[in-house]
Amino acid sequence: MSKIVLVGVNHAGTACANTLLDNYPEHELVIFDRNNNISYLGCGTALWIGRQIESPDGLFYASKDVFEAKNATVHIETEVTHIDFKEKKVTAKKKDGSEVTESYDKLVLATGSLPIQPKIDGVNLENVQSVKLFQDAVAANARMEDPTIKSVAVVGAGYIGVEIAEAMHRRGKKAYLFDVRDTSLCGYYDPELTKDMDDNLQKNGVELHLGESVLSIDGETKVTGITTDKGTYSVDMVVLAIGFVPNTSLGRDHLKTFGKSAAYLVDRHQQTSDSDVYAIGDCATVFSNALQDTAYIALATNAVRSGIVAAHNIAGTVIESNGVQGSNGISIFGYNMVSTGLTLRAATEAGFKAMVTEFEDLQRPAFMKENHSVKIRIVYDGETRRILGAQMASYEDISMGIHMFSLAIEQKVTIDHLKLVDIFFLPHFNQPYNYITMAAISAK
C-alpha cells in the first residue's frame, strides 16, 4: 500500500483521484485544493453569461463528499505552500491559517494553469477581470447585471475571448474584441477559415480590433477606457483572455521544466524528472503526435486523460499516454469550427515542408433541403506525406469528422492513404463524393 498525495483537484486531479479510488482502493489518497469548488467546467462560463444556459448548477461533476465517500482525505480551501521533495513532505495552509503537513510515497501535481496577466497599466482597476475560476464567472455575471456597464473590451481573440465576446453581446453589452494578431483564433485555424469567423462576429455585432496592441487600461479606480497602438476606446469593463501559463511555482526549482512555457516535463507515464512525482493536466507537458515532440497544450481533455494515465502508473499498471493532437472546437452565433493537430503556419514554423489541401462543398446532395456549405483544410508534410492537421468550418454540426483526423495524426496516416478510406454515404448525412475524400484526392 502506498500513500499518494494529490495537489490540485480540478479536471486532471479529479480524473486521477477517481481512477485511483475506483480501481485501487488499497492505496491511501490525500487530496489538497486551495479552491472551494471542484471540477468547474470553464466552458460553461460563456454559456451562462450569454444565457444560453440559465444557471451554472450543472457545471460541476465532482465534489469533496464523493471523494470522501470513497475513503480519500480531502483538504479543500487549503493551499499547498511548500514541498520538501527530499523528505517527501507537503506543507499546506488552511483557510483559518493553520498548517497541515502530509508525507507521501508518490506525489501528483495537478496545479493547472493561471491566466496570463499582460504587463500594462490598469490591470488592477475595478471591472478588469480574467475568466478562469467559477468565482470569475460569478463576478462577470454580476457585472452583466450592472446597468452602468454598457460596453466591454475583451483582450485576446483566442478561444476564451471569442466565446466571452459573444456572451457579452448576447447580454446586451457593446462588445469590442482585441488581438495583436490579424485574425481571431489564429492558434487553431489558418486565415482562410478565421476570416469567416471574423465576418461572423462582426455580422452579429461584435466590434473587432485585430492587429492592435493594447497599451493600457484607463481609469482612476474603475475602468473608463482602453488604449491601443491604434486608438482609445471608451469602455466600462475589460476581460483579459490572452492565454494560460502552467502553474509550477511549487516544483520548478526541483523538477525539470520544458521550454518557454516552463511546464513540468513529463514522460509518457506522466512521470517527472523525480521518479516519485507525477504531473498532470495544464501544469505538465504533453507529447504532440503531430510534432512528434514535447509540447504544451492546455485543454480539459488532455487534463482528464493525463490524470487517468498517472493514476494507473502510480498504482502499478504500466500504461503509456497515446500522445495528443490538441483537438478542439468552438461554436459562435451558430458557426462551428473544429481543428486538430497543426495549422499550416504552425507546421511551417516547426520546420515541416508543410502543404495544404482544401475543399468546400455542401454537406448533403443539393437536392436535400437542410443543407449548408462545409470548408475543410488538411495540412500534411510534403516530404513524408503524413497528415499533420485538419480544420473544418460550417453552420452544420461537423464536429464528429475531426475525430477521424485526430486518430489519423496519432497513427501517422498519409494524405494519400486518406484518398481511398471507406466513408459511407447517405443523403441525410453527406455526399458520395464527400469533402474529406475530395480534399485528399486534390492533394498535390
Q: State the minimum distance, in angstroms, from the CB of residue 67 to ligand NAI.
A: 25
Q: State the minimum distance, in angstroms, from the CB of residue 301 to ligand NAI.
A: 8
Q: 229-268 mask for ligand NAI (x: CB under 6 A)?
A: ------------xxxx------------------------
29, 72, 109, 160: which one contacts ligand NAI (CB under 6 A)? 160
Say whether residue 158 binds ligand FAD (CB under 6 A): no
Q: State the minimum distance, in angstroms, from the CB of residue 204 to ligand FAD.
A: 20
Task: Considering only the stretches 18-26, 42-50, 94-102, 369-377, report the one whose residues sit in contact with ligand FAD under the rule CB under 6 A.
Answer: 42-50
Residue 326 vs 357, nearer CB to ligand NAI: 326
3, 181, 254, 419: which one contacts ligand NAI (CB under 6 A)? 181
HSE-up of 177 (CA within 13 Å, CB side)? 32
Helix (H) or strand (E) holding 202: helix 191-203
Say whether residue 323 binds ligand FAD (CB under 6 A): no
Residue 118 vs 382, nearer CB to ligand NAI: 118
> DSSP per residue over 341-408, as a string?
E--HHHHHHTT--EEEEEEEEESS-TTSSS--EEEEEEEEETTT-BEEEEEEEESS--TTHHHHHHHH
102, 212, 218, 282: which one contacts ligand FAD (CB under 6 A)? 282
Residue with cell 492513404: 417
Q: Give, as ranges, the residues between 115 and 134 that touch ligand FAD (CB under 6 A).
A: 131-132
180, 315, 319, 362: which one contacts ligand NAI (CB under 6 A)? 180
Q: State the minimum distance, in angstroms, from the CB of residue 427 to ligand FAD.
A: 32
Contacts 24+ apart (CB under 8 A), 360-365: 360/435, 361/431, 361/434, 361/435, 361/438, 362/431, 363/394, 363/396, 363/398, 363/429, 363/430, 363/431, 364/427, 364/428, 364/429, 364/430, 364/431, 365/427, 365/431, 365/432
Say whether residue 110 binds ligand FAD (CB under 6 A): yes
Just list the catalytic residues: 11, 43
Residue 321 vs 363, nearer CB to ligand FAD: 321
Select from ligand NAI, ligand FAD, none the partner in contact with residue 186, using the beta carbon and a kind-dependent cut-off of 5 to 8 Å. ligand NAI
* Cα–Cα dist 168/152, whole Å: 7
Cα–chain-centroid distance for residue 325? 12
Which residue in 253, 252, 259, 217 sits closest to 238, CA to CA? 217
Say whether residue 157 binds ligand NAI (CB under 6 A): yes
Q: Are 216 and 122 in contact (CB under 8 A)?
A: yes
Q: State the minimum distance, in angstroms, from the CB of residue 253 to ligand NAI.
A: 25
Select from ligand FAD, ligand NAI, none the partner in contact with residue 187, using the beta carbon and a kind-dependent cut-off of 5 to 8 Å. ligand NAI
Residues 6 or more apart whose CB falls under 8 angstroms from that of 85 comprise 251, 254, 274, 277
Q: 208-247 mask for ligand FAD (x: CB under 6 A)?
A: ---------------------------------------x
Say whether residue 13 binds ligand NAI (CB under 6 A): no
Residue with cell 500504461: 319
Cell of 11: 479536471
Residue 157 vs 440, nearer CB to ligand NAI: 157
Q: Helices (H), strands (E): how many in the chain?
A: 11, 27
To 10 degrees, the CA torsion angle through 389, 395, 400, 406?
10
Residue with cell 468546400: 360
Which residue in 9, 26, 39 sits closest to 314, CA to CA? 26
User: Which positions touch ligand FAD (CB under 6 A)?
Assistant: 7-8, 10-13, 32-35, 42-43, 45, 79-80, 110-113, 131-132, 160, 247, 250, 281-282, 298-301, 303
User: Which positions touch ligand NAI (CB under 6 A)?
Assistant: 43, 118, 155-161, 178-181, 186-187, 214, 241-244, 298-299, 328-330
